[in-house]
Structure 1
Amino acid sequence: MDLFFKTITWGGSLMILLPLAAIMALLLFYRGRMGDAALVLGGLLGASLLVHILKRIFARPRPEVDNLLVAMPPDFSFPSAHTGQAFAFAIACALVLSRHFEQVGATVLWVALLLVAILVGVSRVYLQVHYVSDVVVGAVLGGCWIFVLHRLLCFWLPRT
């Protein structure tokens, strides 16, 4: 399980998600889907900015643990940036991509993407670099940010 969670935790890292979001946004942009491109890239970047601002405001120390499986991140604990970013990216992708599937396919896509995001959150607790509340709030913030941005973009940019 250690190797699994050490691997899956990268699914919430900007080092992985930012290039994926940028490539996806470029492809959507070139297809004339400005709103979808803005949702994917702006969703990830906005969620990341939001959780990092809140980390500085709350300044909650990380758990004090011996024998960690990974290096303890240098920033504050609350809320979990990996989880917030994973949920923001997963929900944005599900909103953008699920329109191209039948009902069953869209449901499978949503479940798969949310399962990966949940596993990222679980990995942060398993690896003992976050408290459960950090992960829960990170997930809620990432999801809420995407739904707010989605509503705003429906007014500003076309989603063809």
Structure 2
Amino acid sequence: MQATELFILDWMQNHLRCGLLDAVLPAISWTCNHGEVWILLALLLVLRKNSRRQGWAVAAALVLDLVCCNLFLKPLVGRVRPFAVNPAVELLIPPPLDASFPSGHTAASFAAVFALRGSGSPLWKPALAVAILIAFSRLYLYVHWPSDVLGGALLGAFLGWAGAWTAKQVYAALEGK
């Protein structure tokens, strides 16, 4: 499997690398280094009365993602990153120091998307476009294996739905329903 994933990453390096993407994709990836873009979105939604539940859904999904992805799965799996296997690749960003599986950027992004969708926010569609760009950037930047990104997307989707469900339950309890 690793050989197939290396083939995909190397193909991207050989056929997609260009000045424009070399400049844009590190910036896109940076917006989610610690979930910043999604934390900001959650905060903005919480501050608006008519979108408060959606904001709490995103916040709950991001907390679940932090625990599951960064505190549990990454240390448990401990997968080496692709740039460590193929050190000949020129990295465009500082090398991440944690384990590779699952992609935390991708997991947080898809957690936010599915929390938005599960809580009824129309923002899930533009958020999905951003999440896909972030996930693609992690492959382009050679810091994750394709299965890391897929695993992050699946984990994020599950945690996003869990975050939306949690926010719905809390709001129902607070309203006495």
TM-score by length of 2: 0.72
Aligned to 1:68, the other structure's residue is in SS state coil
| Structure 1 residue 71 corresponds to structure 2 residue 90 | no
Bigger Rg, structure 1 or 2: 2
Aligned AA for 2:29?
T
Alignment counterpart, residue 144 of structure 1, candidates 133, 150, 158: 158
- CA distance 1:7–1:33, shift in 2 (3 Å): closer
Calculate percent identity across the aligned residue pairs.
32
| Structure 1 residue 44 corresponds to structure 2 residue 62 | yes
Aligned to 1:132: 146
CA–CA distance in structure 2, aligned partners of residues 4 and 37 of structure 1: 28
1:15-30 aligned at under 5 Å gives the runs 16-17=36-37, 19-21=39-41, 23-24=43-44, 26-28=46-48
Task: Give structure 2 stretches of 5+ with no counterpart.
Answer: 1-20
CA–CA distance in structure 2, aligned partners of residues 22 and 110 of structure 1: 12
Aligned length: 149
Deviations, residues 36-93 of structure 1 (Å, cap 9, x unaligned): 3421211112112211110011010111233211111000000000111111123323
CA–CA distance in structure 2, aligned partners of residues 33 and 114 of structure 1: 18
- CA distance 1:14–1:21, shift in 2 (3 Å): farther
- CA distance 1:97–1:153, shift in 2 (3 Å): closer
- CA distance 1:90–1:137, shift in 2 (3 Å): same
CA–CA distance in structure 1, aligned partners of residues 35 and 164 of structure 2: 24
- CA distance 1:141–1:19, shift in 2 (3 Å): closer
Aligned to 2:109, the other structure's residue is in SS state helix
- Measure how far apart 1:18 and its partner are: 5.8
